[in-house]
Structure 1
Amino acid sequence: MIPAQSFPRCARLTEAADYSRVFAGRHRSGGRVFLLKWTPNDTGRARLGLAISRKCAKQAVVRQRIKRVIRESFRQRRLAFPAVDIVVMCRPDAARLDKRRLREALERQWQSIG
């Protein structure tokens, strides 16, 4: 697999301290479907964290589908992002959208990071 097309562990937020640092930061972008929070990091690469709650989608199957769409979109754009830690949260509208619409909404949100 080509490294740019993978989603390695180094591209994920895995520690609670990392999430806390992002939530304490002041950079954010909100839309009808997704809310993004991000903060610069010193790893030299973009990293992704997900915070998809039951308030967003009651069924686990729906939450997992939303997470897959987010991870795939991030994976494809990962090298274009600056060195930031990003946490993606969703709003209840996300549960009602299909994959294509989720992806379109997320693409609009990615534009705010830069």
Structure 2
Amino acid sequence: MPDRCFRKDLRLLRPAEFKRVFDNTALRGSTPHLLVLAAPNELNRPRVGFVLAKKQLKLAVDRNRVKRLVRESFRQHQHDLASHDFVILARSGIVQLDNQQIREMIDSLWFRLKKPHGKHQGRKRKPRR
């Protein structure tokens, strides 16, 4: 059975790691309430980081709820994802969704960003110059 822990080495922690994802986005997935950016890494495992602005989620309880739900979903899907660094950005209006709606939304994003098995898995973007 694969290890489904959410260890520290599966998180983006440093500003330079986030900057690398923003500058070298290769895949992206979005919904009206969430945006996921992904950049390949050399670590042979996926990692995740969060950008949840106070402007979008004013209360700490809302920011923590979204992080908790996305972390749990990432933990369950980590073995299906390619070796990319993922940055999750929240958009306004996400606080009106209940937990089940957020779970379904992030699960659908992971499904779109899974390891490529076919021709049309994920949308690839050219790196910025």
- Give the TM-score band, short-chain normalised: over 0.9
Q: Distance in 1 between matches of 2:8 and 2:2?
A: 12
Residue aligning to 1:66: 66
C-alpha contact 1:13 1:19 (8 A) present in aligned 2? yes
Q: How many residues align?
A: 113
Greater percentage in helix = 1
TM-score (norm. length: structure 2): 0.82
Gaps in structure 2 of 5+ consecutive residues: 115-129
Question: Superposition pairs for residues 43-62 of structure 1, below 5 Å?
Answer: 43-62=43-62
Give the TM-score of the pair, scaled to structure 1. 0.92
Distance in 1 between the 2:4 and 2:28 partners?
A: 26
- Partners of 1:56 and 1:16 in 2: CA distance: 20
- Could you tell me which residue of structure 1 aligns to residue 21 of structure 2? 22
Q: Which amino acid aligns with 1:90?
A: A
- Distance in structure 1 (CA, Å) of the matches to 2:111 and 2:4: 20
2:106 is the counterpart of 1:103: no
Q: How much has 1:5 moved relative to structure 2?
A: 2.3
Amino acid at match of 2:57: A
Question: Counterpart of 1:79 in structure 2: which amino acid?
Answer: H
Matched position secondary structure for 2:3: helix
Work out the CA distance in 1 between the residues paired with 2:30 and 2:98. 19
C-alpha root-mean-square deviation of aligned residues, in Å? 1.4
Are the counterparts in 2 of residues 28 and 38 from structure 1 also a CA contact under 8 Å?
yes
